[in-house]
């Protein structure tokens, strides 16, 4: 007899646990028949009323006795030291106030006190869940929402007690980075030292209540292995992009919101040779390069409440050209002057990589040559490739939609640029196909290296062998990927022989 699934029954989609500062939470993601989105349920250790009262007393004593100065909050090392002092003092007081508990129970209570007094309470658990990308508080009247990497938007069972609590959390985040959120300044965008980005708004600007949105910095950045294994990139495209990065061609990565633009840029950075100096410039710290590379990360700074002290992307771009960079990575092209400096850098011999909001290579080109960016076509000629990322929301997948090269040509009156799409994703087959032969990219590599077309083809095949080895051996650490690439640059023959013989064991 055929089994019929009960559509009125709740289904568990995944279960796991998260532990932060000895506080363990069990997570259960379920599909509920009365809900249109999955539910993210978090369960905590149960604390008795008497223990809760003792915790409140200990917390008040700790706050009054410990000097949490602004300097200690702003400096990550000082913050860490202060947190350890707080924990030690909390443990001492708890042993006196609640004798007879097991050691594990004391540690859990200390962790809860730490989250309540020096953190964001229960949100600290969400921040440490590696499966979450975004944490959203819309008001105290509705549950916290999260964006889960495996299931998209989910409603949690976490409620914040009041609008004041949301405001306190937003203010706490602001103090960490020297910003304020008040009725006079009801909007705040803060970039934390952890790389996370927090945005807050106050009622009545947000008419349903105070809001808090935290976009988490990826603790383990995606690698080219992840992109190939998930079919976001084909092996051919990955090898082609590796070739372009190695030989210092310039690339703009375009795409819509959350399509994976920055993730792809990050995944390509291990292909940069280790003997080159890299400067990255971002509004929010998202890039995470192999730790042995010669890399100087820089981030912008918004003005203070008096409108002073701003460090813009333009400031950093101009300054970076005085730092003798070989490669410049820019978070996103937005404005004309920034783009002009960027393309001037290309035309003075620097290799540049950046991202841009656009849905196709044609749209990316139009955005670059029209206001507000408005780059002269002659200046744009230094850009070789546009890679376009796409997020298919129906299937919840990300794919490289197009890889297009820009081919300058001189007309009778002025220079023009033709777009030659080399690879394109076919949505109906979920496959990236070769659409046309490369002219500009291969031509530039031949010009700058003296390699023949046969040499380049052999080079690409070797790179595909190494990429296949990375996927087969599940190498997903970005530093290890970078070390393997660097070993190959130093002694390609040895690395290929070791891979082919099955003996390759990178450090």
pLDDT (0 to 100) of residue 412 = 58
pLDDT (0 to 100) of residue 67 = 62
pLDDT (0 to 100) of residue 90 = 83
pLDDT (0 to 100) of residue 2 = 46
Q: Average pLDDT of the chain?
A: 88
Rounded Cα distance, 333 and 253, in Å: 10
pLDDT (0 to 100) of residue 507 = 66
**Between residues 73 and 207, which one has the greater pLDDT?**
207
Average pLDDT for 198-226: 90
pLDDT at position 493 over 50: yes
pLDDT at position 213 over 70: yes
pTM: 0.78
Rounded Cα distance, 267 and 238, in Å: 10
What distances in angstroms separate CA 427 from CA 263, 401, 432, 466, 482, one per listed residue?
A: 21, 9, 9, 28, 31
Average pLDDT for 252-269: 94
pLDDT at position 70 over 70: no
pLDDT (0 to 100) of residue 68 = 56
pLDDT at position 147 over 60: yes
All residues at 6 or more sequence positions from 66 whose CB lies less than 8 Å from its CB, including other chains: 82, 85, 86, 89
Interior/surface letters 175-192, b for 16+ CB within 10 angstroms, e for the rest: bbbebebeeeebebebbb
Rounded Cα distance, 456 and 502, in Å: 25
Nearest of 215, 189, 378 to residue 300 by alpha carbon: 189
pLDDT at position 153 over 50: yes
- Place 73 in a pLDDT band, splitting at 50, 70 and 90: low
- Place 422 in a pLDDT band, splitting at 50, 70 and 90: very high
- Place 197 in a pLDDT band, splitting at 50, 70 and 90: confident
CB distance 126 to 146 below 8 Å: yes
Rounded Cα distance, 45 and 51, in Å: 12
Least confident of 166-170, 236-240, 334-338, 481-485: 334-338
Summarised one tens digit per residue, pLDDT across range 6-31 is 566 889 999 999 998 888 999 999 99
Average pLDDT for 299-328: 87
pLDDT (0 to 100) of residue 211 = 97
pLDDT at position 3 over 50: no
pLDDT (0 to 100) of residue 415 = 81
pLDDT (0 to 100) of residue 283 = 82
Reduce the DSSP state of residue 359 to 3 states and report it.
coil
* Tokens 């990255």 belong to residue: 280
Rounded Cα distance, 435 and 424, in Å: 6
Average pLDDT for 414-425: 92
* Tokens 């399509």 belong to residue: 259
Rounded Cα distance, 261 and 255, in Å: 6
Residues of the chain with pLDDT > 70, as a percent, come to 94
All residues at 6 or more sequence positions from 67 whose CB lies less than 8 Å from its CB, including other chains: none
- Place 355 in a pLDDT band, splitting at 50, 70 and 90: very high
- Structural domain 224-501, CATH architecture: 3-Layer(aba) Sandwich (3.40)
pLDDT at position 329 over 50: yes
Q: Parse the chain into domains and list their residue ranges.
A: 11-215, 224-501
Helical (H) or strand (E) element with 318: helix 313-320
Average pLDDT for 437-444: 94
Rounded Cα distance, 231 and 173, in Å: 38
Nearest of 460, 390, 476 to residue 430 by alpha carbon: 390
Average pLDDT for 187-202: 84
Residues of the chain with pLDDT > 90, as a percent, come to 57
Average pLDDT for 109-138: 89
pLDDT (0 to 100) of residue 332 = 87
pLDDT (0 to 100) of residue 71 = 42
**Between residues 231 and 80, which one has the greater pLDDT?**
231
The CATH number given to 11-215 is 3.30.450.380
Summarised one tens digit per residue, pLDDT across range 463-478 is 999 999 999 999 999 9
Average pLDDT for 485-507: 90
């Amino acid at each position: 007899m055929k089994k019929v699934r009960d559509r009125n029954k709740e289904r568990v989609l995944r279960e796991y646990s998260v532990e932060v500062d000895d506080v363990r939470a069990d997570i259960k993601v379920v599909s509920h028949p009365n809900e249109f989105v999955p539910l993210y349920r978090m369960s905590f250790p149960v604390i008795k009323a008497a223990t809760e009262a003792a915790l409140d007393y200990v917390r008040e004593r700790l706050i009054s006795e410990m000097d949490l100065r602004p300097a200690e909050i702003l400096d990550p090392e000082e913050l860490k030291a202060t947190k350890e002092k707080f924990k030690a003092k909390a443990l001492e007081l708890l042993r006196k106030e609640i004798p007879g508990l097991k050691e594990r129970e004391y540690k859990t209570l200390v962790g809860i006190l730490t989250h309540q007094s020096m953190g964001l309470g229960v949100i600290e658990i969400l921040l440490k869940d590696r499966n979450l990308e975004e944490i959203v508080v819309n008001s105290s009247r509705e549950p916290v929402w999260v964006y889960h990497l495996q299931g998209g938007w989910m409603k949690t069972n976490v409620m914040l007690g009041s609008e004041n609590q949301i405001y306190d959390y937003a203010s706490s985040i602001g103090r960490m980075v020297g910003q304020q959120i008040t009725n006079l300044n009801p909007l705040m965008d803060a970039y934390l030292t952890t790389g996370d980005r927090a945005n807050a708004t106050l009622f009545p600007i947000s008419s349903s209540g105070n809001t808090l949105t935290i976009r988490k910095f990826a603790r383990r950045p995606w690698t080219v292995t992840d992109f190939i294994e998930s079919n976001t990139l084909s092996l051919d495209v990955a090898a082609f992009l590796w070739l372009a990065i190695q030989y210092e061609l310039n690339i703009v990565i375009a795409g819509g919101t959350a399509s994976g633009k920055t993730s792809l840029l990050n995944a390509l950075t291990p292909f940069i040779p280790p003997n080159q100096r890299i400067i990255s410039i971002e509004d929010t710290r998202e890039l995470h390069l192999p730790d042995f590379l010669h890399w100087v990360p820089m981030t912008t700074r918004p003005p203070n409440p008096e409108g002073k002290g701003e460090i813009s992307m333009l400031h950093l771009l101009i300054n970076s050209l005085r730092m003798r960079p070989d490669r410049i990575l820019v978070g996103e092209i937005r404005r004309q002057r920034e783009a002009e400096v960027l393309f001037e850098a290309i035309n003075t011999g620097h290799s540049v990589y950046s991202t841009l909001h656009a849905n196709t290579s044609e749209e990316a080109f139009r955005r670059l040559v029209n206001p507000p960016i408005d780059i002269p076509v002659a200046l744009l000629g230094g850009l070789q490739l546009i890679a376009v990322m796409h997020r298919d929301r129906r299937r919840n997948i990300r794919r490289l939609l197009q890889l297009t090269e820009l081919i300058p040509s001189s007309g009778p009156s002025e220079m023009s640029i033709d777009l030659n799409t080399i690879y394109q994703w076919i949505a109906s087959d979920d496959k990236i196909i070769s659409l046309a032969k490369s002219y500009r990219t291969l031509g530039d590599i031949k010009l700058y290296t003296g390699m023949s077309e046969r040499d380049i083809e052999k080079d690409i095949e070797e790179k595909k062998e190494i990429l296949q080895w990375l996927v087969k051996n599940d190498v997903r650490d970005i530093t290890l990927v970078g070390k393997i690439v660097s070993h190959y640059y130093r002694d390609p023959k040895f690395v290929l022989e070791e891979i082919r013989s099955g003996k390759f064991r990178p450090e």
